[in-house]
Structure 1
Amino acid sequence: MTTIDFTAEVEKRKDALMADLFNLLRINSAMDMEHADAENPFGPGPRKALDAFLEIAERDGYKTKNYDNYVGHFEYGEGDETLGIIGHLDVVPAGSGWDSNPFEPEIREGNLYARGASDDKGPTVACYYALNILKELNVPLSKKIRFIVGTNEETGWADMDYYFEHCELPLPDFGFSPDAEFPIINGEKGNITEYLHFAGKNAGSVVLHSFKAGLAENMVPESATAVISGAKNLQVALEKFVAEHVDKNLRFDLNEEDGKATITIYGKSAHGAMPEKGVNGATYLTLFLNQFDFADGAAAFIKVGSEKLLEDHEGEKLGIAYVDDLMGNTSMNAGVWSFDEATEGKIALNFRFPQGNSPERMQEILQKLDGVVEVELSKHLHTPHYVPMSDPLVSTLIDVYEKHTGLKGYETIIGGGTFGRLLERGVAYGAMFEGEQDTMHQANEFKPVENIFKAAAIYAEAIYELAK
């Protein structure tokens, strides 16, 4: 039985932890494929964040390995079994609506504001310091620990595909990802994006020249912009529309010149795993446009958005809804939208689905939608994942959580996807506490500073209990 006061050990390292975290948060590590190359597979930002993290580990005496700027890892300790800890350093795009620079971290009223503070640089650094406490105290362990950091978690997991293909070591035997919430995430729904393709045609008296919305498939689009021609009295119509949906706090911009009108509708972003927490600007823009005389592909694109996707987060209007007794419902986020009159229209539907539902079932149903010319499945598929409560990994992590919080632990199954599911015996564990506001993927993302330190203490004891 350990007598280490992990909370006190974290207290001694608070300043160092925050200094390292601030340095990582200052790096805009959102994917940037426009500037990607062989040395920067997801753009310069994710690479820079990986370099910075591995420099911290080397400073502290770990022997690191960088897998061609996709993923980095280091190992600590000896043993026949390996405990894996898997975090990520990439972030979703900052988007608009911030009260401060998203890449210049600020502490206000006890909260640390920055893109990545909560997802996932804050928790990853807390976990790193937890392991470092065991190393600095030279605590005897019977298992090897492998700390892995990825750079493409938010947009495709190509980092981990590369890692598993090129890593010369066997996979960890069990482990966790500090990229969700306490007490534990031991079940995750499947995850697939299905792309609806429409003809980029117009034949009505009103023409849709273009439509654009969404920064990532796993984010609710905060805003959407359409360029149209042939519609009259748009200012009055938009004012009436916003007034009719005052409960959604919609805003609009309108610019009319050279016979074309550019309309932007603003809603509210949210994580794609919980689309009901946002206001999808794209669906509301299609609802506004649906009153006008569009035809062909443009009309089909607008009708699907306004009549099938608006305020339907489980796919009931589409006919793809499915509920499982253990894992719950299917959720849907219409995350990225595009329409070009010269080419095509496209809507990316990101589904989080339970056991019993399947991508092929949903694809077959979606292909019957009026005006949809093709339904394409993303190459990136996660099948449903579950580790039972009886597994010692789960029971140990819940015990540590209960000890540190005084709260009762319980199992949770989510629609979000974490790196925990990469291991057959893998879960997600923290770092968001019960009652803590979830600001992941939103403007003004923040993490309460004290909860970063509290999580670090929990992680330290958890690693000790799993590897002692």
Structure 2
Amino acid sequence: MTNLDCNVIRQAVSARQADFFKGLKEVMQINSVKGKPEIDAPFGAGPKQAILKALELAESLGFKTQLINNAMGYAEWGPETRDYLGVIGHLDVVPEGTGWDYDPFDLTEDNGILYGRGVLDNKGPIMSNLYALSVLKELGFVPNKTVRIVFGSDEESGSADIPMYLAVEPAPVYGYTPDCKYPAVYGERGVVGIDIVTRFSDNSATQIESFIGNFDRSSVPDTLNITLKTGEHLEIKGKRSPSNAPEMGLNTITLFAKQATVSARFNGELATYLSWLSASFHNKHDGSGIGVAFSDQESGTLQLTPYELEITKDQARLSLSIRYPISVTEEKVLSAMTEHLVPNSDLIVTRRMKSTVFDRHHPMLKTMQRVYKDCTGEDGTPVTTTGATYARSMPNILAFGPSFPGQKGIAHNKNEYMAVSDLMKNMEIYALTLAELLA
């Protein structure tokens, strides 16, 4: 337990709001979407620039900093030792998309709400940890353990930055990533990406001249533009949501398949394919339409999201993201799905991440549970998630915050936001947690 009074920490956190938002704004103004690799910027100039800005701010706050392989950087505080508590976040962001009411690459406050790409995922939370640490330093707290705030640059595109960091630096002894939800997340479901490739032998796919959507693995697609061989143009509108919250969106891929089937617009093998696609996937986010509705008590029901469809003259390729319960194996999912494919189809695995489970009896979890309850008055019992975080790639960490219960579907959408009160509550929770863990 820390000898710092909790009320003192809360007051000090509140007093640093303007300073914190000023630093965060500087990071938010950098477009850190993954770009073309460069010699000294493996994930593009933007993500590298964001890391350098975060390290510049960390140095101004009095912390030791280091850039690792141009892929990650860290701010360090505490005894000179290679054993450290790690707080791992990322400064890369998903593409901004369209339809914003605010500048996506800025920090804009409007009626108590902060807007900007990355304010929630993950610039706001990881920078709140840096400034929380600065608050403890300002209060005269002396850490008995070493802590690193680690800034990543490729979490949204596969976490290839983690191996580049671990090639030079040891993994944390334990720690967390502020890139998911509260309470503490001890388990993350397994993730498998699948392409179902279906061949057509009757030229029926030539009924479609072009097929263009706003496809991205991280989101449920909400726009589809189709030109038919007859010259007719179809525009299908859905509702965008994160791929790990498909029930909050309306998928244009499956909506198109349903509409095409109901109207009997197409014929031949293409019509058969679209009928299968509609019956198997439209609003069947649990995988029940294709035989994979697995579930368990700890992590709930399997979650399935079609996120891309490509139709050429002789085949269709449907891309799926599947998040399966922690007690289920990838092999079980693939085996069950194979039995429910439309004829002339092959199943290809494009991405795989096994589920990860952190020791539920670890003392850090007890600390997190206590601090969360003290700060919010809510139950802090650890949970599981459908999300995929750095906890899958960086050993010995779990996810902790920043979203509170009931907050879903915000991160990858237009007008990504976070309430001022929520971001400051995060900073308070992280300051109190770090004070406990470093005492």
Scaled by the length of structure 1, the TM-score of the pair is 0.86
Q: How far off is 1:360 after superposition?
A: 2.6
Q: How far off is 1:161 after superposition?
A: 3.0
Corresponding position of 2:178 = 178
- Please state if 1:6 is matched with 2:12: no
Question: Which amino acid in structure 2 is aligned with residue 104 of structure 1?
Answer: D
- Please state if 1:377 is matched with 2:379: no
- Among 23, 27, 36, the alignment partner of 1:24 is 27
Q: How far off is 1:212 after superposition?
A: 3.1
Corresponding position of 1:97 = 99
Q: How far off is 1:371 after superposition?
A: 4.1
- 1:317-376 deviation per Cα after TM superposition (whole angstroms, max 9, x unaligned): 11122112222221111122222337x532221111113322233333444412453222
Corresponding position of 2:310 = 338
What CA distance in whole angstroms lies between the structure 1 residues aligned with 2:410 and 2:205?
43
Corresponding position of 2:52 = 51
- Among 237, 262, 266, the alignment partner of 1:293 is 266
Contact 1:206 1:292 in 2 (8 A): no
What CA distance in whole angstroms lies between the structure 2 residues aligned with 1:113 and 1:22?
11
Contact 2:248 2:409 in 1 (8 A): no
Closer/same/farther in 2, CA of residues 273 and 445 from structure 1, 3 Å limit: same
Q: How far off is 1:313 after superposition?
A: 0.6
Corresponding position of 1:359 = 330
Corresponding position of 2:438 = 467
SS at match of 2:433: helix
Corresponding position of 2:187 = 187
Aligned residue pairs total 432
How much is the aligned-residue C-alpha RMSD, in angstroms? Answer: 2.3
Contact 1:40 1:69 in 2 (8 A): yes
Alignment of 1:433-452 (within 5 A): 433-436=404-407, 438-452=409-423
Closer/same/farther in 2, CA of residues 148 and 301 from structure 1, 3 Å limit: farther
What CA distance in whole angstroms lies between the structure 1 residues aligned with 2:252 and 2:37?
29
Corresponding position of 2:62 = 61
What CA distance in whole angstroms lies between the structure 1 residues aligned with 2:219 and 2:212?
14
Q: Where does structure 1 lack aligned partners over 5 or more consecutive residues?
A: 231-259
- 1:407-450 deviation per Cα after TM superposition (whole angstroms, max 9, x unaligned): 22122111111223445542211112235565111122110012
Q: How far off is 1:214 after superposition?
A: 4.1
- 1:157-186 deviation per Cα after TM superposition (whole angstroms, max 9, x unaligned): 11223322x22x321111111112222212
Question: Which amino acid in structure 2 is aligned with residue 52 of structure 1?
Answer: K
Contact 1:184 1:412 in 2 (8 A): yes
SS at match of 2:353: coil
- Please state if 1:281 is matched with 2:237: no
What CA distance in whole angstroms lies between the structure 2 residues aligned with 1:40 and 1:422?
20
SS at match of 1:21: helix
What CA distance in whole angstroms lies between the structure 1 residues aligned with 2:59 and 2:239?
41
What CA distance in whole angstroms lies between the structure 2 residues aligned with 1:45 and 1:304?
42
Question: Which amino acid in structure 1 is aligned with residue 30 of structure 2?
Answer: I
What CA distance in whole angstroms lies between the structure 1 residues aligned with 2:408 and 2:305?
21
Corresponding position of 1:114 = 116
Q: How far off is 1:135 after superposition?
A: 2.8
Contact 1:195 1:347 in 2 (8 A): yes
Closer/same/farther in 2, CA of residues 367 and 222 from structure 1, 3 Å limit: same
Scaled by the length of structure 2, the TM-score of the pair is 0.91
Contact 1:210 1:341 in 2 (8 A): no
What CA distance in whole angstroms lies between the structure 1 residues aligned with 2:215 and 2:242?
12
Contact 2:101 2:415 in 1 (8 A): yes
What CA distance in whole angstroms lies between the structure 1 residues aligned with 2:28 and 2:267?
45
- 1:264-314 deviation per Cα after TM superposition (whole angstroms, max 9, x unaligned): 211111111111111111211222233222434x44653443221111111
Q: Where does structure 2 lack aligned partners over 5 or more consecutive residues?
A: none
What CA distance in whole angstroms lies between the structure 2 residues aligned with 1:41 and 1:152?
9
Alignment of 1:73-88 (within 5 A): 73-78=74-79, 81-88=83-90
Question: Which amino acid in structure 1 is aligned with residue 240 of structure 2?
Answer: S
Contact 2:260 2:274 in 1 (8 A): yes
Closer/same/farther in 2, CA of residues 46 and 346 from structure 1, 3 Å limit: farther
